[in-house]
Chains A and B, each alone.
Chain A
Amino acid sequence: MTDAITEAAARWHAAQADDAMDWDGFTVWLEESPAHRTAYDAVALLDDRIDRAVPALRDLMREDEPVRPRGRLRLVGWGAAAAVLLVGAIGLGTWHTARPGAAEVALYRAPAGQTRAVALPNGSRATLAPGATLRVSAGAQVALEGKGYFEIRHDPAHPFTVTAGAYQIRDIGTRFELVSDAGMLRVAVAEGTVGVTSRAANGEVLVSAGRTLTAFAPDQFAEVRTTPPAPMAAWRGGRFSYDNEPLGLVVADISRYVGAPVLIDGAPARRRFSGIIAPGSRAVMVRNLEQLTGLDATTEGDAIRLGDRTGG
């Protein structure tokens, strides 16, 4: 396989991020020679391999060089962001620690459009999706707002628990992805097992590797199904891929990613959504979601609200 063919394949691959992608031209190019297909397969799989390695790559590069200040936080004029800042302020005021370097409370926030790697006590790690917030307080209590991926080193003496709204997720030595918003929860387990409890319901549900729990409300427990291969951690590669997720969680993802409010509630928030949304500006992502769901977007101040055409 020549470099020229590989480079052409890579050009087609890179162009797909754009809505103006020439799919007909790509089809014709693929049809020209089986070597084109082979080259494209190799590029797509390499890209996928890189995407999956991105959190580890970020860690490596962080060790290599001090992180450049990014200065891309856009927090002004957004209620939810203000609330996050408030949490930060409370954290500093109430739990301020006297010992530098041994903070008992830490607040981590991934800025819009970027993920963030967080080293947790006892060697565990979290990767926050854009806009997600993680609070670590005394006794290694961890609370997540938004979406995060956890790699937990199991320690029977110090079991690891994440709180997400009305839910608690207890680790039994595992890797899992967690997203919660507006009373909904989704836990996808890559390895090991987690136990999920809700403040509003009795009992613990165990979710094992390859399975996903989706809860639509804290008092109605939730389905556990086989995890489809794509959605797991796809967001870490900058794609938004969903399989039967509550629309409320999808909209919350987009809102956090773009760093500006997108709202949905009521029945539409509990509808299921499957599909792929390309990263883009808020207007573009909302328009794509409108097309895919048949919902209508209206502007409310600096927010965009998605609702039913019938007014529901």
Chain B
Amino acid sequence: MQIYQESRGELLRFLTARVGDRAEAEDLLHDLWLRIQSADAGPIANGRSYLYRAAQNLVLDRARARQRRLVRETAWSERGDDHTTEPADPRADIEAEIAARENAAALAAAMAKLPEKAGLVFRLHKIDGLRHAEIAARLGISRSGVEKHIATAMTHLRRALDGGTT
């Protein structure tokens, strides 16, 4: 993949800065390469942004997998392997359901306290699923204005939810 070869150096530099560890960055870069190869894709004309997003997703996948492994290891070990027809432990389901609902309630409460404009932009984006450009057009502001409001909202949410399981 030509674009990959061309961008390899800068991607490694980016991933090293992103995870703060050269060896892990090389490992991630290898994963990225495997991911691209298995994509069965033809030549990429302008895939630089794609490669960076894919790299970002790999980093996030790992962070998420780390979190999930802690939560799931116990629950899944009790469920047997692939051939079982046993339903999942209903208690684990209920606990997960309750945790998810509490998480949503905490987020909703924090979102309700956002500054007015930032809260509106954030809801339009996350809850109504509008894209930045659509929000910009609807509210008559620039795209960078939309990004600024979303960043303000995230900063407030981060402060409000600090100490949570972020």
Q: Are B79 and A275 in contact (CB under 8 A)?
A: no
What interface size band does chain B fall in? 35 or more
How many of A's residues come within 8 Å of B, CB to CB? 81
Q: Which residue of A lies closest to B152 (CB)?
A: A7
Q: Are A292 and B126 in contact (CB under 8 A)?
A: no
Interface positions of B from 42 to 80, Cβ below 8 Å from A = 42-50, 52-54, 56-57, 59-61, 63-65, 67-68, 76, 79
Given contacts A10-B151, A172-B87, A209-B79, contact A292 B18 (CB under 8 A): no
Q: Is B90 an interface residue (CB 8 A)?
A: yes
Q: Is A271 an interface residue (CB 8 A)?
A: yes
Given A23-B48, A208-B84, A229-B68: 16 more A-B contacts, CB < 8 Å: A11-B148, A11-B151, A18-B143, A51-B126, A53-B103, A56-B103, A60-B105, A113-B131, A130-B129, A191-B92, A193-B85, A206-B85, A209-B88, A276-B50, A278-B53, A291-B44
Q: Are A23 and B76 in contact (CB under 8 A)?
A: no
Q: Are B64 and A23 in contact (CB under 8 A)?
A: no
Q: How far is the CB of B123 from chain A (nearest CB, A)?
A: 8
Q: Is B128 an interface residue (CB 8 A)?
A: yes
Identify which of B35, B44, B67, B151 contacts A274 (C-beta below 8 A).
B35
Q: How far is the CB of A36 from chain B (nearest CB, A)?
A: 9
Q: Are B76 and A210 in contact (CB under 8 A)?
A: yes
Given contacts A27-B13, A54-B127, contact A45 B39 (CB under 8 A): no
Interface positions of A from 10 to 31, Cβ below 8 Å from B = 10-11, 13-19, 21, 23-24, 26-27, 30-31
Q: Are B14 and A49 in contact (CB under 8 A)?
A: no
Q: Are A276 and B126 in contact (CB under 8 A)?
A: no
Q: Are A292 and B147 in contact (CB under 8 A)?
A: no
B-side interface mostly: helix
A30 to B18, CA, bound (A): 6
A70 to B130, CA, bound (A): 11
Give the number of A-B contacts (CB < 8 Å). Answer: 216
A288 to B54, CA, bound (A): 13
Q: Are B39 and A21 in contact (CB under 8 A)?
A: no
Q: Which residue of B lies closest to A292 (CB)?
A: B41
Q: Is A46 an interface residue (CB 8 A)?
A: yes
Q: How far is the CB of A205 from chain B (nearest CB, A)?
A: 11
Identify which of A17, A45, A50 contacts B107 (C-beta below 8 A).
A50
Q: Is A161 an interface residue (CB 8 A)?
A: no
Q: How far is the CB of B27 from chain A (nearest CB, A)?
A: 16
Q: Is B6 an interface residue (CB 8 A)?
A: no
Q: Which residues of B contact A154 (CB under 8 A)?
A: 87, 90
Q: Is A86 an interface residue (CB 8 A)?
A: no
Given contacts A154-B87, A294-B42, contact A113 B157 (CB under 8 A): no
A18 to B53, CA, bound (A): 11
6 interchain residue pairs of minimum CB distance: A294-B42, A56-B104, A10-B151, A30-B17, A173-B87, A10-B154
Q: Are A53 and B100 in contact (CB under 8 A)?
A: yes
